[in-house]
Structure 1
Amino acid sequence: MRERFLNWQTVLFVLCVAVLAFGATSTPGFAQPDNISFLLLDYSEVALLAFAMLPIVLTGEIDLSVASVLGFCSALTGTLWNAGMSFEMIVPLVVVAGIVLGSVNAVLIVRFGLPSLAVTIGTLGLYRGLAYVVLGDGAVTGFPANYRPLATDSIPGTFLPYATLLVIVVGAIAAVVVHYTPVGRALYAIGLGEQTARFSGIRVDRIKMSLYLVSGGLAALASVIFTLRYNSARADNGNGLELAVVAAVLLGGVSIFGGRGTVFGVATAVLLMAGLRNVLFLGDVSNEIQNVITGLLLIVSVLVPVVVGALSRRRTPPPAASESPLPDSDSVEGARLPQPH
């Protein structure tokens, strides 16, 4: 299975390179530094949310409320800014609010034992509704000009946006935690068998609680970038973004059942989707068609591992039956039974 997974990552990387090469050679303006910066910025929030969802899916759970947490935190940012609060105070308050929303998911899933799919579908609607309660259906603009470049501009002399630098830092931390720490090994163990992990002494509940808190915090941080990038706080910010996030995680080779996946695979999938979306955007393809393609990628990302697994099982011969010879009559007759004492 490990070899098959590594092969999928290789295929994904080749596809990513192919899409970028196709864009550079056939799409006017694709390889321009300004467009590369736009390409990276366009999926910065998706990347942050995907890195937050990756460890959750590794444990066999899911969080479909991440985009609604982003929307609520964006609405809260606008409300606090309208109230005259400084942006330096707003950011930590918004991050705390995201963590609180994540803790609601955690309590319902971990403490009450409810299915994460059902819970986060419910909070997806709940948090989006609360965003409209907080801000209404209007928009708040005019955020500080000295902070906006952090979400829109690139590092001087490069095409690397400041927001992408944050994505790289978060991705590096996620890679270290997932692949090189006991916590990361525990994530895989939980995904492969939660009950076995508990018997092994892994604090399953504590780890799952922490993952949803981190998810809420990163969603809040993504909301700050999203709000500054568009200079607009709205209750519908990030609406539908959870589809792209789930597609990136599953396309990156993370098993929906848990226990398998890497940060590299998710990062490659995010870059592939960003490159593909940019090629379609420059080709004047409508958003509706882009959403159709994202949905197809999501289906393919779930279907391919199942088909590959079925083909692999078909090619693998069943284990041979044991051919241990039956004892002959002479050996049975010559055997001595132990005498009772």
Structure 2
Amino acid sequence: MTSLTAAQPAAAERTYANHGRPAWRRLLFTREMAIIFLLVVVLVVASAIVPKFATPVTMGYLLFDITPLLFIALAMAPVMITGDIDLSVGSMVGLSSVTVGLCSQAGLGIPVAALVALLVGALGGLVNGLLITRIGLPALAVTIGTLALYRGIAVGLLGTTAITTFDKWWTTLVKSKIGTTGVPTVMILFVVLLAAFAIMLHFTPFGRGVFAIGLSKDAAVFSGVNAERTRLILFVLSGLMAALAGIYYALYYTSARGDNATGMELQVIAAVVLGGVSVFGGRGALHGVIAGVVLIGVLSKALQLVNITSDVVSIITGVLLVLSVIAGSVMNWVQSRRVRPAPASTPAKTS
């Protein structure tokens, strides 16, 4: 008896596209690219209206002005991606600048004074993080409280006086430029920090955990992410970067005062949200955040050159911020409408 075995055809391997949209659409049609495009448009218009705007001198002073915002925004972006917020960064800039001034006045060198200021910033961020992650208090309420606390300590240490005497070598270094380009030397430090934060946020498991926490904290925890430790580290980094901005602030403006950088936290948050970070957490990219900071700086500098008051600059910044939030909500609504559930298959009738 012979048995016939039917040759079974090899099952065809089913493949799926890695993404639902082409790479060029995923790259170009984003909020970050929209902000970069808007920044280019504003630069072109400002250069046309104010001829001296596009000069290396003006661009150099623009970068000098926004350097504290750039430093703080690097750490504020991941904090907000997790769904938290840090409103104490402006007062920490003031407290760290006072720390540098007092240490310098006591005869300590600027490197030692800067190290002490960084420790103060890390301690302030640690206090925020512990209150939020260990005790479970809301980030908004905690950082509003520490905003007043750190500002009060800074003003209490100096009162209404200001320290304006610093080592001239360091103040000259902070104000120096790279050759004849007009680019501040401090931008080298910023580029190094930008690369470090970009790698951490976009190319490491830690960064993926940051986004996972913003999307769903419970899901992130079940996926193995230590959410509380991650958030604590981010608040410490936020305090460190605010302290670094305070050190720069004191040396560049040669002034250590308790009220330095008043209101800077609102500028940073506006730039971060304008740069594409969702106020609800879970999304954002550093290139968009940097573009948001530069856009606010360009608008402010261009309007100042045509004698527009700072109040109008604040109004324009607020309008842009509101529009960016509305645009993000509209984009999310459109994307949700485009996703259609697959039709349920009906069983075939048997006769």
2:288 to 258, 265, 269: 265
Query: Separation in 2 of the partners of 1:73 and 1:9?
Result: 32
8 A Cα contact 1:77 1:94, kept in partner: yes
Q: Which runs of 5+ in 1 are unaligned?
A: 331-341
What is aligned with 1:42?
A: 65
8 A Cα contact 2:31 2:276, kept in partner: yes
| Runs of 4+ with deviation above 6 angstroms | none
Within 5 Å, give how 1:221-232 maps onto structure 2. 221-232=244-255
8 A Cα contact 2:99 2:116, kept in partner: no
What is aligned with 2:344?
A: 322
Q: Aligned pair in 2 of structure 1 residues 88, 319: CA closer, same or farther (>3 Å)?
A: closer
Query: Separation in 2 of the partners of 1:224 and 1:6?
Result: 38
Within 5 Å, give how 1:13-92 maps onto structure 2. 13-92=36-115
| Structure 2 residue 31 is matched with structure 1 residue 11 | no
* Percent identity between the two aligned chains: 39
TM-score, scaled to structure 2: 0.88
| Paired positions, count | 328
TM-score, scaled to structure 1: 0.91
The alignment partner of 1:307 has SS state of: helix
Query: Separation in 2 of the partners of 1:183 and 1:313?
Result: 28
| Structure 2 residue 222 is matched with structure 1 residue 199 | yes
State the 1:83 CA deviation. 2.4
1:298 to 321, 324, 330: 321
The one-letter code matched in structure 1 to 2:152 is: G
The alignment partner of 2:30 has SS state of: helix
Query: Separation in 1 of the partners of 2:82 and 2:28?
Result: 17
Query: Separation in 2 of the partners of 1:305 and 1:50?
Result: 19
8 A Cα contact 2:82 2:211, kept in partner: yes
8 A Cα contact 2:82 2:214, kept in partner: yes
Deviations 1:140-169 (A, max 9, x none): 102111001232221123221012222222
1:129 to 146, 152, 162: 152
Deviations 1:82-127 (A, max 9, x none): 2232222111011001000000000000001111111111111111
What is aligned with 2:305?
A: 282
8 A Cα contact 2:32 2:285, kept in partner: no
8 A Cα contact 2:62 2:301, kept in partner: yes
Within 5 Å, give how 1:132-281 maps onto structure 2. 132-281=155-304
Query: Separation in 2 of the partners of 1:251 and 1:5?
Result: 17
Q: Aligned pair in 2 of structure 1 residues 39, 138: CA closer, same or farther (>3 Å)?
A: same
State the 1:10 CA deviation. 2.1
8 A Cα contact 2:128 2:143, kept in partner: yes
Query: Separation in 1 of the partners of 2:113 and 2:342?
Result: 66
State the 1:320 CA deviation. 6.0
The one-letter code matched in structure 2 to 1:125 is: A
Q: Which runs of 5+ in 2 are unaligned?
A: 1-19
State the 1:309 CA deviation. 2.3
Deviates more, 1:275-284 or 1:164-173: 164-173
Q: Aligned pair in 2 of structure 1 residues 142, 190: CA closer, same or farther (>3 Å)?
A: same
State the 1:310 CA deviation. 2.8
1:99 to 122, 133, 137: 122
The one-letter code matched in structure 1 to 2:77 is: L
8 A Cα contact 1:243 1:295, kept in partner: no
State the 1:327 CA deviation. 6.6
The alignment partner of 2:70 has SS state of: helix
The alignment partner of 2:52 has SS state of: coil
The alignment partner of 2:169 has SS state of: coil
Query: Separation in 2 of the partners of 1:282 and 1:217?
Result: 33
